[in-house]
């Protein structure tokens, strides 16, 4: 009986030692987060926070032309107004003179076809348009032929007619060159007007440095930017004025060549016909 108990105890011990590893394998380990999940979830929070953060508002340029006008004083605004008036005036002169030169070129072609085909100087002048410089010169020659009497008769007829037509040609040239002096003035003075604005802007920059006690960029950026903009505007006004002046001057020379040729030929016709033939 005693041996039987010992055998039963030994069998129970062996069975317990055999089932222990199996029970350890069947125990479910506690849930732990996966390594990959931690890596992906970690940056998710900052991304969400960044998405929820509102976008910064757009900041206007504090150093542009609009800021220059709104923040500048009366002197700087006066310089800008003067440059704007110069620019508008120069472009007005350029456009109007181009139109006038084109019209005179068409009138020159009309005089070439209509005037010289007429029987007399008077009939030829009547075919030309009102306000045409060629009609004005023709009528000046006719008027000189009529007035060659009295004290004027003491002057040679050729010299008297030549003097009258020369004065008429000079008047046409003066009318054609109206506004050219304005372009020359703008082209020569607008850079200095812009330079005055530049000096004024630098003065404000130095004043800002003196008040602040240090040359920080936020103190000098505005006045220096104002000075640079003034310089650029002055050059932008001067360059078209100078180029327009030279271009219009060359075109005026071509138009006046047509006028002088017409005047010289008409003078020859009037001398050949005499006073009676010109008035017929």
Average pLDDT over residues 47-54: 49
- Cα separation values, 167 from 93, 163, 198, 266, Å: 25, 6, 47, 14
Q: In this predicted structure, what is the pLDDT of residue 94?
A: 95
> Predicted confidence band at 155 (pLDDT cuts at 50, 70, 90)?
confident
> Predicted confidence band at 87 (pLDDT cuts at 50, 70, 90)?
very high
Residues whose CB is less than 8 angstroms from the CB of residue 255 and which lie 6 or more positions away in sequence, other chains included: 101, 104, 105, 108, 176
pLDDT at 21 over 50: no
Closest among 187, 225, 191 to 205, alpha carbons compared: 225
- Cα separation values, 130 from 18, 133, 217, Å: 132, 9, 65
- DSSP code of 214? S
pLDDT at 220 over 80: no
Decide: 165 and 142 in contact? Cβ < 8 Å.
no
Q: In this predicted structure, what is the pLDDT of residue 184?
A: 94
As a whole number of Å, the CA-based R_g of the chain is 48
pLDDT at 238 over 90: yes
pTM of the model: 0.67
Q: Read off the pLDDT of residues 132-151 as tens digits, 9 standing for 90 and up.
A: 899 999 888 888 888 776 76
- 53-57, 106-110, 225-229, 263-267: which range is least confident on average? 53-57
Q: Read off the pLDDT of residues 184-201 as tens digits, 9 standing for 90 and up.
A: 999 999 999 999 888 887
Q: In this predicted structure, what is the pLDDT of residue 127?
A: 87
pLDDT at 52 over 90: no
Average pLDDT over residues 108-120: 84
Decide: 197 and 232 in contact? Cβ < 8 Å.
no
> Predicted confidence band at 235 (pLDDT cuts at 50, 70, 90)?
very high
Q: In this predicted structure, what is the pLDDT of residue 273?
A: 67
Task: Write down the domain spans for the chain.
Answer: 65-194+238-279
Closest among 150, 175, 152, 173 to 163, alpha carbons compared: 152
Which residue has better confidence, 59 or 67? 67
Say how far apart CA 11 and CA 33 lie, in whole Å: 43
> Predicted confidence band at 101 (pLDDT cuts at 50, 70, 90)?
very high
Residues whose CB is less than 8 angstroms from the CB of residue 191 and which lie 6 or more positions away in sequence, other chains included: 234, 235, 238
Average pLDDT over residues 16-37: 46
Q: In this predicted structure, what is the pLDDT of residue 219?
A: 62
Helix, strand, or coil here: 251?
A: helix
Residues whose CB is less than 8 angstroms from the CB of residue 68 and which lie 6 or more positions away in sequence, other chains included: 76, 80, 225, 226, 229
């Amino acid at each position: 009986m005693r041996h039987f108990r010992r055998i039963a105890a030994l069998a129970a011990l062996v069975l317990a030692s055999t089932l222990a590893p199996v029970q350890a394998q069947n125990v479910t380990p506690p849930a732990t987060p996966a390594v990959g999940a931690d890596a992906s979830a970690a940056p998710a929070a900052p991304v969400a926070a960044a998405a929820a953060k509102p976008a910064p508002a757009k900041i206007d340029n504090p150093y542009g032309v609009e800021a220059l006008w709104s923040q500048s004083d009366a002197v700087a605004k006066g310089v800008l107004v003067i440059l704007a008036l110069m620019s508008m005036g120069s472009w007005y002169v350029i456009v109007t003179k181009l139109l006038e030169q084109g019209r005179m070129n068409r009138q020159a072609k009309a005089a070439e076809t209509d005037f010289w085909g007429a029987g007399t100087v008077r009939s030829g002048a009547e075919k030309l348009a009102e306000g045409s410089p060629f009609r004005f010169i023709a009528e000046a020659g006719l008027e000189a032929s009529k007035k060659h009497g009295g004290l004027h008769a003491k002057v040679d007829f050729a010299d008297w007619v030549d003097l009258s037509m020369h004065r008429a040609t000079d008047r046409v040239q003066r009318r054609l060159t109206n506004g050219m002096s304005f372009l020359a003035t703008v082209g020569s003075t607008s850079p200095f007007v812009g330079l005055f604005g530049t000096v004024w802007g630098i003065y404000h920059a130095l004043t800002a440095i003196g008040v602040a006690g240090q040359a920080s960029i936020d103190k000098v950026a505005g006045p220096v930017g104002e000075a640079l903009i003034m310089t650029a505007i002055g050059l932008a006004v001067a360059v078209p004025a100078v180029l327009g002046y030279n271009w219009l001057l060359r075109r005026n020379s071509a138009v006046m060549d047509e006028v002088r040729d017409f005047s010289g030929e008409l003078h020859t016709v009037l001398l050949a016909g005499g006073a009676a033939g010109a008035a017929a």
